[in-house]
């Protein structure tokens, strides 16, 4: 329903209630014996005229921008406007019932009654104005909230895009380093690495504009990444997956697991002479998905500070899921570090 239709529905309904109320008061104070066709017609004329004059009053209010005025500036204008409109409407009503459509049983015109009518209509018009400006105030506050939410969403989207653009060059640099180390010593493996990195880049470009990807898509690209790293680390890196099939369609931030795996290799496996193992697993728990990346090693005090990649991931989680998502990196045993990512299911 558009605003114009809603406005006219409210106008006809409100002034219709006023007409019925006036007829009811006439019945209570004058009795049924004094009610006739002319007295009912009088109430219809009054109600119709007040509807018309209130509409023109609204037109004047909108034309002069009264809805944007402060309360201090609005109240004096509104009081004068209500009195003026009430005077004009009563003048027009009296002109109709005394000269255009003379009604039987109407008491002769006198100024005291006229002023009394103006005063009573002023109260009615003041009530109409109060309801009108209360509605305008509610609508203005609602528009302000909507604009605020739209601005917040736009800022979050811009921030999310910046965070993604910070992650992608970081990942690309590491992947190219791996290829460089094998180009001369093992061209066949280098070609295999190029194949894997092309898949990684395709994934990065394809989902760069996406807020979320499925866990299955992310796992596929993590396998490509681990293939690249296992070629470089040879027998020093092994990895395994324990993925719940029911979790494969759940949406997560793109490059999230890849970042955790990269972090595990950089700060865990690569620091150990004998290398190590990486375990990636997913578990559905009540209302959330828990993803764990476990690797051999121990967090040292000086390395417990979050790097750029992890900080960016935390910010992305905050934007996408609020406080319902969390990321923890901690020593899970004497020789194991676990990065645990919690994603809400809805």
CB 258 within 8 A of CB 218: yes
Name every residue whose Cβ is closer than 8 Å to that of residue 201 and which is 6 or more positions away in sequence.
172
**Across all residues in the chain, what is the average pLDDT?**
82
Q: Give the DSSP letter of residue 68.
A: G
Distance set, CA 167 to CA 111, 192, 220, 292 (Å)? 82, 24, 18, 20
Over 70: is that where the pLDDT of 184 sits? yes
Name every residue whose Cβ is closer than 8 Å to that of residue 271 and which is 6 or more positions away in sequence.
297
User: What does the pLDDT look like over 221-253, one tens digit per residue?
Assistant: 888 888 877 776 777 888 999 999 999 999 998
User: Domain check: are 120 and 15 in the same one?
Assistant: yes
Domain containing 328 — which CATH number? 3.30.565.10
Over 80: is that where the pLDDT of 43 sits? yes
- Is 159 among the domain residues? no
Q: What phi and psi values does residue 327 have, to the nearest 5 degrees?
A: -130, 125
User: Domain check: are 200 and 88 in the same one?
Assistant: no
Q: Which residues pair with 280 in a beta bridge?
A: 241, 293
User: Domain check: are 310 and 204 in the same one?
Assistant: yes
Q: How many domains does the chain have?
A: 2
Kind and range of the H or E run holding 239: strand 237-243
Residue 152 confidence (pLDDT): 67
CA distance 185 to 180: 10
Instruction: Write out the residue range of the structural domain in which residue 292 sits.
Output: 181-344
Stretch 284-297: mean pLDDT, rounded?
91
Residue 305 confidence (pLDDT): 46
Among 130, 149, 168, the domain-final residue is 149
- Is 250 among the domain residues? yes
Name every residue whose Cβ is closer than 8 Å to that of residue 61 and which is 6 or more positions away in sequence.
67, 81, 132
User: Domain check: are 331 and 186 in the same one?
Assistant: yes
User: What does the pLDDT look like over 64-123, one tens digit per residue?
Assistant: 988 888 888 889 999 999 999 999 999 998 888 888 877 776 777 788 888 988 999 999
- Is 194 among the domain residues? yes
Residue 167 confidence (pLDDT): 46
User: Domain check: are 263 and 134 in the same one?
Assistant: no
User: Domain check: are 108 and 241 in the same one?
Assistant: no
Over 50: is that where the pLDDT of 344 sits? yes
User: Domain check: are 195 and 340 in the same one?
Assistant: yes
Q: Compute the C-alpha angle 108/112/117, nearest 5°.
A: 85
- Is 172 among the domain residues? no
CA distance 262 to 232: 13
- Is 167 among the domain residues? no
CA distance 276 to 160: 33
- Is 294 among the domain residues? yes
- Residue of 284, 334, 340 whose CA lies nearest to 310: 340
- Is 10 among the domain residues? yes
User: Domain check: are 135 and 249 in the same one?
Assistant: no
- Is 161 among the domain residues? no
Which of 34-38, 162-166, 244-248 has the highest mean predicted lDDT (pLDDT)?
244-248
Among 149, 169, 202, the domain-final residue is 149
Residue 107 confidence (pLDDT): 75
CA distance 320 to 307: 20
Listing DSSP states for 160-179 in one string gives HHHHHHHHHHHHHHHHHHHH
- C-alpha 120: how far from chain center: 46
User: Domain check: are 202 and 314 in the same one?
Assistant: yes
User: Domain check: are 224 and 124 in the same one?
Assistant: no
- C-alpha 305: how far from chain center: 33
User: Domain check: are 90 and 204 in the same one?
Assistant: no
- pTM for this model (two decimals): 0.50
Over 70: is that where the pLDDT of 160 sits? no
CA distance 97 to 324: 69
User: Domain check: are 331 and 203 in the same one?
Assistant: yes
Distance set, CA 329 to CA 222, 265, 311, 340 (Å)? 19, 14, 12, 6
Among 149, 173, 204, the domain-final residue is 149
3 state DSSP class of 101: coil
């Amino acid at each position: 329903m558009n605003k114009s239709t809603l406005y006219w529905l409210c106008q006809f309904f409100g002034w219709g209630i006023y007409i019925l109320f006036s007829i009811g008061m006439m019945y209570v104070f004058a009795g049924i014996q004094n009610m006739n066709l002319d007295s009912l017609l009088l109430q219809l004329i009054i109600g119709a005229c007040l509807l018309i004059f209130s509409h023109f009053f609204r037109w004047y209010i909108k034309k002069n921008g009264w809805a944007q005025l402060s309360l201090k500036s609005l109240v004096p204008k509104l009081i004068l406007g209500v009195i003026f409109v009430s005077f004009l409407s009563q003048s027009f009503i009296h002109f109709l019932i005394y000269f255009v459509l003379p009604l039987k049983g109407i008491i002769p015109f006198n100024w005291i009654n006229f002023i009394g009518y103006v005063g009573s209509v002023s109260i009615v018009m003041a009530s109409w104005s109060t309801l009108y400006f209360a509605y305008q105030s509610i609508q203005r506050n609602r528009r302000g909230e909507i604009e605020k939410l739209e601005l917040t969403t736009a800022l979050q989207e811009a921030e999310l895009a910046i965070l993604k653009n910070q992650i992608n060059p970081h990942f690309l640099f590491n992947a190219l380093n791996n290829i460089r180390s094998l180009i001369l010593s093992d061209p066949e493996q280098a070609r295999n690495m190029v194949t894997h990195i092309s898949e990684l880049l395709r994934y990065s470009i394809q989902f760069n504009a996406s807020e979320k990807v499925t866990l299955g898509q992310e796992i596929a690209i993590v396998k490509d990444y681990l293939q690249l790293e296992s070629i470089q680390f040879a027998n020093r890196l092994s990895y395994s997956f324990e993925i719940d099939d029911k979790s494969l369609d759940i949406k997560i931030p793109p490059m999230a697991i890849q970042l955790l795996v990269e972090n595990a290799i950089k700060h865990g496996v690569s620091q150990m002479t004998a290398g190590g193992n990486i375990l990636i697993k997913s578990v559905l728990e009540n209302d959330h998905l828990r993803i764990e990346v476990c690797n051999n090693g121990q967090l040292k005090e000086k390395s417990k500070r979050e790097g750029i990649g992890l900080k960016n991931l935390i910010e992305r989680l905050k934007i996408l899921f609020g406080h319902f998502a969390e990321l923890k990196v901690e020593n899970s045993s004497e020789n194991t570090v676990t990065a645990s990512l919690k994603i809400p299911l809805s």
